[in-house]
Structure 1
Amino acid sequence: MEMKIYKNEARKRYETLFHDKIAFIEYIEAKNAVYLTHTEVPASLEGRGIGSKLIKNVLDILMEKDAKLAPLCPFVAAFIRKNPVYKSLLASGYHV
């Protein structure tokens, strides 16, 4: 499943469109880190792995930018626990 990620700066979220529905991760950009605060997948799309794929793609984008991450969203934190390659993104003082 090909997934395109769009950074919607006006709404402060990374988005993807799937079957005319938007799944997203809300963020806050700060001086020291990008805070991923909430992930939402429409109920009609749940159970298809869309949330995990969205998180992976957003983390890959942040990795390319050498950004530091504060995973405030429990779903993002759980994804990083299961995929430790992304632990290098964690800002100082953040653990999953």
Structure 2
Amino acid sequence: MHQMETITRLEIKDNAFARQFETKTESGIITLEYSFQEKKIFLTKINTPENYNDEEFISNFLKNIMETVIEKKLKVVPIHPKIVAFFKKNPIYKELLPPGIRI
């Protein structure tokens, strides 16, 4: 499909009831809240343990989620500023944005 960079596979739980993806770190749980509308997934909020700032881990968490989005053939609408920044740093995933969304 497209040239992928190396992604460290994480164990990510899709908690459909809470509408969030979850993964564990040594510091606690990181979650990414989402909502669905048609064939789009809106990524609304990242929650991290207090004072957690491992940007590389968060980026890898998002890359793992993008792989799931690709498999499910969804489009991504990034709402949270950290997710918008992720798309700016990783233009390879811009094809996942719906038409009309510019980052």
Same fold (TM over 0.5): yes
> May I ask how many residue pairs the two structures share in their alignment?
96
Q: One-letter code of the match for 1:22?
A: I
Which consecutive residues of structure 1, in runs of 5 or more, have no partner in the other structure? none
The alignment status of 1:62 with 2:72, answered yes or no, reads no
Q: CA RMSD in A?
A: 1.7
Q: Which 4+ stretches in 1 moved above 3 angstroms?
A: none
Structure 2 counterpart of 1:35: 42
CA distance in 1, matches of 2:41, 2:63: 15
Greater CA drift, 77-86 or 13-22? 13-22
Closer, same or farther: CA 62–26 of 1 in aligned 2, 3 Å: same
CA distance in 1, matches of 2:91, 2:28: 30
Which consecutive residues of structure 2, in runs of 5 or more, have no partner in the other structure? 1-7
The alignment status of 1:10 with 2:14, answered yes or no, reads no
Contact 2:14/2:20 (<8 A) preserved: yes
| TM-score normalised to structure 2 length | 0.83
Identity of aligned residues (%): 29
Tell me the CA shift for residue 20 of structure 1.
6.3
